Structure 1
Amino acid sequence: MINRRTFTKAVGLGVGATAVTAVSTGTASAALASASSGSSGSKGPGGTGGKAPVIPTIAPGTHTTFSDLKQVRAGVLDIGYAETGPKHGPVAILLHGWPYDIHSFVDVAPLLADAGYRVIVPYLRGHGSTTFLSPATARNAQQSAIALDIIAMMDSLHIRKAVVAGFDWGSRTADIMAALWPERVKALVSTSGYLITNVAAQKNPLPPKAEQIWWYQYYFATDRGQTAMQTPADRNALCRLVWDDVSPTWAFDDATFNRTAAAFDNPDYAAIVIHNYRWRLGLADGERRYDRYEQLLAAKPTIAVPTITIDPALDPFIASTDGTGYRNFFTGPYDHRVFTAIGHDAPQEAPTAFAQAVVDADHM
C-alpha cells in the first residue's frame, strides 16, 4: 500500500487544509458548496472590502475558441496569449499545464471577463505561438525559467500585480511567482497545492504503484521517448492517452483534443517537454543564470499571498485530497477545495467552480 503522505513529499507535489470545499459537476454544470478554512478572513477585493460575485453556472465546453490572440516580446520569448475582459479591470493570469494549452481556460476566461477581470492566458514556452527570440537560446524548461517568463510578460504588458491561477506546470509556475515575487501576485489559485519541485527529493524511489503513475516521465528520459515526442502522430497519441488516464470522467471529443494538440506543433515543443521532465529527475542540467532562483526554491519557501488550493478528486497524481500534506507551506489567508468527480484538467472539466475559486481568492 502506498504511503500517500510520503508519496506526496517525494514527488514534489507539495506538503492541506483545515477544511474542505466540495465541488461536484453534473453533465452540464459545476455546483459549488463553499466552506471556510478557518485560517483566513474575508478582506474583499484587493483588501478593500466587498463580497465576491457568484459566477454563473455554465456547461463545460460552452466556449470553444478565443477571439483575441496577441503576441508580446518578453524576456527571451515572443509570447502568444489570449486576452479578454475590460482593459482596465483587475488582472487574472491563467496558466496551463502539460499536455494542454490555453484551451484549458476557454470556458473560465469569459466567466472571469464577465465578472470584470482582464484575463490573460499565455502559451507557455514551447507551446502554440510562443517562440524564442533567438535560435541560440537554450530550450530550457526548468521551473524558474518558466516563472520568469510570466514575470517578464507582466513587465512587458505593464501589469504590476495579478491574480494568478493554474494547474500542473501552471500551478508550479504560479506557486513560484507567489513565493519569490509576492509583490506581483495579488492572490493565488493552485491546483494540487504546493508544486515547487525539489529535484534532490525526486532522486528517491517511490513505491512501485506510485512510480507507475509517472510512466511518461521515465519514457521521456529515453531516446525512444524523445523520438516519440518529435513524431507528431506518436506525440498526439501519447498526449491523448494521458488525457484519458488522468481525466477518467471527462467525455471530451476529438475536436476538443485537436484544438489543444495544434499547440504541440510548436517547433520547440519536444525539446521543452523533454527537458522539463529530465531536469525534474536530475537527468538534465539547468542554466547557471537560474541557479540563484533554484537555490531559493530548494529551500521550500512558504507562500504568504491569499491562496485557494484545489484537489481534483479523480486526479491520479493527487496522493490525497485533504491537502494536509502541503498546508504548512501556505502562511497567509487560505482555503482548500476538493472538486469531486473531476480529473486533472480542473479548469476545463469544472470551469464554473474554477472561476469561482479565482474570484474568491481575490476577495480573501
Structure 2
Amino acid sequence: MQSRTIRTDVLDVAYEEHGPSGGAVVVLLHGFPYDVRCFDEVAPSLAAAGCRVLVPYLRGYGPTRFLSPSTPRSGEQAALGHDLLQFMNALGLGSAVLAGYDWGGRAACIVAALWPERVRCLVSCTGYNIQNIARSVDPVPAEQEHRFWYQYYFHTERGRAGLTKDRRDICRLLWKLWSPEWAFDEATFEKSAISFDNPDFVEVVIQSYRHRYGYALGDPALAGIEERLAAQPKITVPTINLHGGHDGVGPAPQVDGNAKFFTGAYERRLIPHVGHNVPQEAPSDTIAALRDLMKGTTE
C-alpha cells in the first residue's frame, strides 16, 4: 500500500493505493463518520486479485486539504460527486468500478447517474443515495425521525459547538447506534477518529446536514450539479445494493424502494446482523459483490 496525494481543482486529495498500476481500477469511498480504514480488509484482497485500488479521504477528513481558504467548506452532495469526478480526472481514469456507503455512496451514485460513461459498475450500500432536497421538509414516521437526531442537532449552533468540542464522543455514539451488533473496540475507533481532527471536518459536516434540509446555501460553483440532481436522475450502470440487515440509521425496508432508480442491471443483497458500516463489518460480502459485478462487465 502506498499513501499518495493528488491535486484537483479545489483539493489536495490524500488517498491510499493498493495493487498493480495496470490493474482494473476500483475506487472505494467511505462515509460519515468513518474514514479509509473501513476498507482495510477489502482493498488488499482486491489488489491481490490484480486490481488497482484507490481509497481517497473525502473532503474534511484525514490529510485531504482545501487549496484555498476562500473555497466554501461545503459538504453538499454536489461537492462529493464533483470531488470524485475531479479525483478521477486528475488521475487520468477513463472509467472505474465505484463502491461506497453513506457520503461515499452518495458520491458514487452521483457520478454513476450524471457521468455513466465513467463508471464500469457500482456497489452502493443502501442503494440510491442521491438526496431529494426539494422534499426534505416532508416529515417521515416518528420512528425514523428519532434516528435523525444528530442531523437536527447539527442544524443548531449548539450542535456545531458540540461537534467541535466532542467530535469523538458524538461519532463513537453514532457508530454504536448505527451498527448495534458490531463489537468494535476503542483502538479500531481511534484508527478512524484521527481523521476527524482535519481542520475542516466540523464545517464540512455542519454544512452538509444543513444544506440537505435547505438551511444552508450551497457552493455557487456547484449549482449546476445540484440542479441536475434535483431531477433525481436514474442510474444506468450495473449495480449491487448492499444493505445491512441491522442498519440503525437506515433500516432495510421489506419492499425495495430503490429499484425504481436503477434502469440497468440491479440487485439488492441484505446482509444479516450487519449495520451501517458495511465494508468494515462485512468485508467478504463487499468483496464478493465487487467481484461479481466485475465478472459481468468490461473496462
Q: CA RMSD in A?
A: 1.0
Counterpart of 1:281?
A: 213
Counterpart of 1:152?
A: 86
Measured in 2, the distance between the counterparts of 1:322 and 1:164 equals 26
Note if 1:295 corresponds to 2:227: yes
**Identity over the aligned pairs, expressed in percent?**
47
Q: Does the residue aligned with 1:92 lie in a helix, a strand or coil?
A: strand
Counterpart of 1:8?
A: none
Q: Does the residue aligned with 1:251 lie in a helix, a strand or coil?
A: coil
Q: Does the residue aligned with 1:203 lie in a helix, a strand or coil?
A: coil
Counterpart of 1:81?
A: 15
Counterpart of 2:243?
A: 311
Counterpart of 1:68?
A: 2
Contact map agreement 2:236 2:264 (CA 8 A) in 1: yes
1:1-364 matches, cutoff 5 A: 67-231=1-165, 234-322=166-254, 324-364=256-296
Bigger helix fraction = 2
Measured in 1, the distance between the counterparts of 2:101 and 2:247 equals 11
Question: Structure 2: which amino acid aligns with 1:123?
Answer: Y
Contact map agreement 1:125 1:272 (CA 8 A) in 2: yes
Offset of 1:230 from its aligned partner? 1.4
Q: Residues 45-95 of structure 1: CA distance to partner in whole angstroms, max 9, x if unpaired?
A: xxxxxxxxxxxxxxxxxxxxxx42111101200000011011100000000
Offset of 1:357 from its aligned partner? 0.7
Question: Structure 2: which amino acid aligns with 1:127?
Answer: Y
Contact map agreement 1:311 1:321 (CA 8 A) in 2: no
**Of the two structures, which has the highest relative contact order with CA contacts closer than 8 Å and spacing of 6 or more?**
1
Q: Residues 108-156 of structure 1: CA distance to partner in whole angstroms, max 9, x if unpaired?
A: 1001111111000000000000000011111111111111111111111
Offset of 1:204 from its aligned partner? 0.9
Contact map agreement 1:323 1:336 (CA 8 A) in 2: no
Runs of 4+ in 1 over 4 A off after TM superposition: none
Offset of 1:288 from its aligned partner? 2.2
Measured in 2, the distance between the counterparts of 1:180 and 1:278 equals 24
Q: In the comparison of the two structures, how many residue pairs are matched?
A: 296
Counterpart of 1:52?
A: none
Question: Structure 1: which amino acid aligns with 2:120?
Answer: K
Measured in 2, the distance between the counterparts of 1:68 and 1:307 equals 28
Offset of 1:356 from its aligned partner? 1.1
Offset of 1:322 from its aligned partner? 4.5
Question: Structure 1: which amino acid aligns with 2:229?
Answer: L
Counterpart of 1:3?
A: none
Contact map agreement 1:199 1:282 (CA 8 A) in 2: yes
Offset of 1:363 from its aligned partner? 2.2
Measured in 2, the distance between the counterparts of 1:172 and 1:350 equals 19
Question: Structure 2: which amino acid aligns with 1:331?
Answer: T
Measured in 2, the distance between the counterparts of 1:161 and 1:323 equals 32
Measured in 2, the distance between the counterparts of 1:289 and 1:136 equals 12
**Segment of structure 1 superposing worse, 321-330 or 294-303:** 321-330
Offset of 1:209 from its aligned partner? 1.8
Offset of 1:226 from its aligned partner? 0.1
Which structure 1 residue ranges, 5 or more long, are not aligned?
A: 1-66
Q: Residues 231-253 of structure 1: CA distance to partner in whole angstroms, max 9, x if unpaired?
A: 2xx11000000001111111111
Question: Structure 2: which amino acid aligns with 1:224?
Answer: R
Measured in 2, the distance between the counterparts of 1:306 and 1:181 equals 14
Measured in 1, the distance between the counterparts of 2:254 and 2:121 equals 21
Change in CA separation of 1:263 and 1:323 when aligned onto 2, cut-off 3 Å:
farther
Measured in 2, the distance between the counterparts of 1:178 and 1:323 equals 23
Q: Does the residue aligned with 1:200 lie in a helix, a strand or coil?
A: helix
Change in CA separation of 1:323 and 1:135 when aligned onto 2, cut-off 3 Å:
farther
